[in-house]
Structure 1
């Protein structure tokens, strides 16, 4: 996670304490090694972010989303975002065909389930699109305060009348 998808094997060699030759022997090719890294990282991300998005009986879902946003964009979530943003169109096709579609649609169900708890299941695509757009914005500008404010504005629009969700900074 620390090195993302390196262009060369050197960071992986240092991180694993083995040689490039042993890595290639074990995985067969550089691409197979990178695919294994991606699959492992993706499973960790699904587990981590999935837990963040699950419904909590004692919490309105907009508060859950606020906490999830803070974790996804904070130190715990940034390595995943950095790694998966490295998958460019041509790299995606060779390393993980269809990744962008899968990495988008697999978040719809957890969001729909959570948003159903506040009567807004139909907003899952909107929420996902805003999250993805803000994550790309954050990656490009590193303007955490602005993207946090925009996400909080979305939460305010989703909140049931009279319910105020906490700021993503809280």
Structure 2
């Protein structure tokens, strides 16, 4: 007679693995995840069947957290001009709260990430269009959502490649100034 599934243990393990991966990146082996969860690699396999399935579930949970966090940053606030919201969103995305997501998902944006998460690049683009369209609609320019997204994504890639937050912040502020004009 085998053990019955225990979803609460599985979820606790997934939460701990996701926290670890956001802080340290996705490991190549299960050992660091087992250590972070206080269990064995055998128990991780018991609950998630394979290493790749566990990694996909970690990515999925981290993505849901990122969507919640970044969508909240981009939402329209009745008491705040949307360009101010965008400036605060940029600071949140590139600051300590957002940086772990950028590190984790940065490598999935190139074709190397496709085997682990097919279709990620498309979803990582289209997920942000609706909140940006709503925000830009408050300025009477919903059609600029794609442009705003392209600038944000481009500057995030620049920040990831160079680590030059001061320069990318100035560039984002210059972009917001062009939208104000």
Of 144, 147, 151 in structure 1, the residue corresponding to residue 172 of structure 2 is 151
Determine the structure 1 residue equivalent to 2:103: 82
Determine the structure 2 residue equivalent to 1:111: 132
Of 141, 155, 161 in structure 1, the residue corresponding to residue 162 of structure 2 is 141
Of 132, 144, 147 in structure 2, the residue corresponding to residue 126 of structure 1 is 147
- Residue 22 of structure 1 deviates from its aligned partner by 0.8
Measured on the aligned residues, the alpha-carbon RMSD in Å equals 1.1
Determine the structure 2 residue equivalent to 1:165: none
What is the TM-score when the length of structure 2 is the normalising length?
0.85
The runs of 5 or more residues in structure 1 that have no matched partner are 162-170
- Contact persistence 1:3–1:11 (CA under 8 A): no
1:32-83 deviations in whole A, cap 9, x for unaligned?
0000000000000000000000000110000000000001000000000000
Q: Which aligned runs of 4 or more in structure 1 are off by greater than 4 angstroms?
A: none
What is the TM-score when the length of structure 1 is the normalising length?
0.90
Distance 2:141 2:175 in 1: 13
Rg comparison, structure with higher value: 2
Which SS does the other structure have where 1:97 is aligned? coil
Of 58, 64, 76 in structure 2, the residue corresponding to residue 37 of structure 1 is 58
Distance 1:11 1:100 in 2: 27
Q: Number of residues paired by the alignment?
A: 159
- Residue 93 of structure 1 deviates from its aligned partner by 2.3
Distance 2:31 2:141 in 1: 48
Which SS does the other structure have where 1:86 is aligned? helix
- Residue 20 of structure 1 deviates from its aligned partner by 1.0
- Contact persistence 1:120–1:158 (CA under 8 A): no
Question: Which structure would you say has the larger RCO, counting Cα contacts within 8 Å and 6 or more residues apart?
Answer: 1
Determine the structure 2 residue equivalent to 1:168: none
- Residue 4 of structure 1 deviates from its aligned partner by 2.1
Distance 1:58 1:47 in 2: 21
Is structure 2 residue 67 aligned with structure 1 residue 46? yes
